[in-house]
């Protein structure tokens, strides 16, 4: 035990004296949380909209005002002819152009029927869709108001509720995602790099001829990083709750326990990398390309897995981040209890045991060669 503490102390010195690892450990989570929290949001707000109004009556004025007042749009430009539309889109001055035909109000009140046209810049398809939906909703509201006093032949009244995330905050999606990615990056990369560094420097040999058991050498290397990753989880959660105002719906203890399990998963991946490579660069390269990329793609954080072709969907099951991401979402956002994440937990635990077994086996074989 004394030996173990001597080792842990040494490992902390390494981290504290190495500015790069300190920056990665503390800077990375903070920067990612702030970036995703305030800069890289997928919410569409304040989109520029241009108006081409051939009618210029009371009704169009009201509609334009409503659109301008909503948080989704800012009326940016009034056009005079359809020819100008192209230019507006080309210069990126508007994402959406709303076109009112002549006699809009007149037709509406006399014929009870009129048309308007929405033209969107679909070079970014998601945003185009979202802006069209927002604009249609505003127009529909206006239409409903006009109909209020009249009995319509058929009405379906829709009442929608956004469960778990009523304000549709994107933080509910990215906080679990950021946690997953950071743990994957830190756990696997830092452990593997630090072990491979000992190999490169030749200190590994000294450790192996010491009375310390070889397995203990690995464990003592991994434990300090486990502690550091765990501190990072706490840091991220504190930022989520106090800066991004995202509450933790479920049990905090359960969330931390599951995080610990995932940290062990990533550490075992780190060990697996480190027993197979001999240079720090290769270790880093593998952690980034072979672990971080699939984690990013297959966790479900950025791209919905349901939309992927079947082979990729099947493959996503092999990626540990997918399971941890779904656990964190279930606990943090939906407030579910342990029985609902049991399956994911067992899968993660199984993967961890698998990675660890291979790593230790390979480590023993390497010792013999």
Partner 1 sequence: MMSEIVIHTENLTRKFGDFVAVNTISFDVKAGEIFGFLGANGAGKTTAMKILCGLLSPTSGVASVAGFDVYKENEQIKENIGYMSQKFSLYENLTVRENIRFFGGIYGIDRKSLKVKSEELIQRLGLGLEADKLVGSLPLGWKQKISFSVAILHNPKVVFLDEPTGGVDPITRRQFWDMIYEASAKGITVFVTTHYMDEAEYCDRVSIMVDGAIAAMGKPSELKKQFAVENMDGVFLQLARGAKRSE
Residues that bind partner 1 (CB under 8 A): 2-3, 6-7, 9-10, 13-14, 17-18, 201-203, 205-213, 367-369
For partner 1, the closer of residues 35 and 206 by Cβ is 206
For partner 1, the closer of residues 17 and 90 by Cβ is 17
For partner 1, the closer of residues 21 and 316 by Cβ is 21
Give the strands of the sheet with 96-100, arranged side by side.
Answer: 73-79, 47-53, 96-100, 117-120
For partner 1, the closer of residues 13 and 354 by Cβ is 13
SS3 content of the chain, % helix, strand, coil (to 5): 70, 5, 25
Which residues, in sequence order, are bridge partners of residue 294? none
Owner of token pair 């690995």: 218
Give the nearest distance from C-beta 206 to partner 1 in angstroms.
5
> Comparing C-alpha atoms, which of 277, 121, 272 is closest to residue 199?
277
Give the nearest distance from C-beta 277 to partner 1 in angstroms.
17
Give the nearest distance from C-beta 227 to partner 1 in angstroms.
18
For partner 1, the closer of residues 147 and 210 by Cβ is 210
Give the nearest distance from C-beta 253 to partner 1 in angstroms.
34
Rounded to whole angstroms, how far apart are CA atoms 233 and 66? 43
Burial class (CB in 10 A: 0-12, 13-18, 19+), 162: exposed
Give the nearest distance from C-beta 191 to partner 1 in angstroms.
17
> Comparing C-alpha atoms, which of 123, 121, 140 is closest to residue 131?
121
* Ramachandran assignment for 103, one of left (phi > 0), alpha (psi -120 to 50 degrees), beta (any other): left
In angstroms, the Cα distances linking 355 to 47, 205, 316, 350 are 47, 24, 17, 9
Rounded to whole angstroms, how far apart are CA atoms 114 and 54? 13
> Comparing C-alpha atoms, which of 97, 57, 58, 103 is closest to residue 79?
97
Helix (H, G, I), strand (E, B) or coil at 119: strand
For partner 1, the closer of residues 39 and 369 by Cβ is 369
For partner 1, the closer of residues 289 and 365 by Cβ is 365
Give the nearest distance from C-beta 13 to partner 1 in angstroms.
6
Burial class (CB in 10 A: 0-12, 13-18, 19+), 207: middle
Give the nearest distance from C-beta 226 to partner 1 in angstroms.
20
> Comparing C-alpha atoms, which of 159, 172, 226, 157 is closest to residue 194?
226
Give the nearest distance from C-beta 202 to partner 1 in angstroms.
3
For partner 1, the closer of residues 45 and 364 by Cβ is 364
């Amino acid at each position: 035990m004394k030996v173990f503490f001597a080792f842990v102390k040494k490992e902390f010195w390494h981290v504290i004296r190495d500015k790069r690892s300190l920056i990665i450990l503390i800077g990375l989570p903070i920067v990612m949380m702030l970036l995703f929290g305030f800069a890289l949001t997928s919410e569409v707000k304040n989109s520029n909209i241009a108006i081409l109004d051939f009618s210029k009556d009371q009704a169009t004025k009201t509609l334009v005002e409503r659109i301008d007042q909503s948080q989704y749009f800012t009326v940016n430009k009034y056009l005079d002819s359809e020819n100008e539309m192209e230019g507006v889109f080309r210069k990126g001055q508007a994402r959406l152009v709303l076109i009112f035909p002549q006699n809009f109000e007149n037709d509406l009140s006399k014929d009870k029927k009129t048309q308007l046209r929405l033209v969107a810049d679909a070079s970014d398809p998601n945003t185009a869709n979202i802006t069209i939906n927002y604009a249609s909703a505003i127009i529909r509201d206006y239409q409903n108001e006009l109909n209020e006093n009249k009995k319509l032949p058929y009405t379906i009244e829709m009442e929608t509720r956004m469960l778990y995330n009523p304000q549709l905050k994107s933080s509910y999606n990215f906080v679990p995602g950021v946690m997953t990615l950071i743990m994957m990056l830190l756990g696997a990369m830092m452990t593997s790099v630090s072990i491979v560094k000992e190999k490169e420097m030749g200190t590994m040999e000294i450790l192996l001829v010491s009375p310390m058991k070889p397995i203990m050498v690995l464990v003592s290397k991994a434990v300090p990083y486990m502690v550091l990753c765990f501190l990072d989880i706490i840091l991220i959660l504190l930022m989520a709750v106090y800066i991004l105002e995202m509450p933790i719906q479920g049990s905090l203890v359960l969330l931390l326990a599951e995080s610990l399990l995932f940290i062990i998963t990533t550490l075992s991946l780190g060990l697996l990398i480190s027993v197979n490579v001999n240079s720090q660069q290769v270790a880093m390269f593998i952690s980034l390309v072979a672990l971080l990329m699939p984690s990013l793609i297959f966790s479900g954080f950025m791209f919905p897995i349901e939309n992927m072709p079947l082979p990729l969907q099947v493959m996503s099951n092999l990626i540990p981040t997918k399971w941890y991401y779904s656990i964190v979402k279930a606990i943090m956002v939906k407030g579910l209890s342990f029985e609902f994440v049991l399956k994911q937990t067992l899968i993660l635990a199984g993967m961890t045991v698998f990675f660890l077994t291979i790593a230790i086996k390979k480590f023993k074989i390497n010792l013999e060669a």
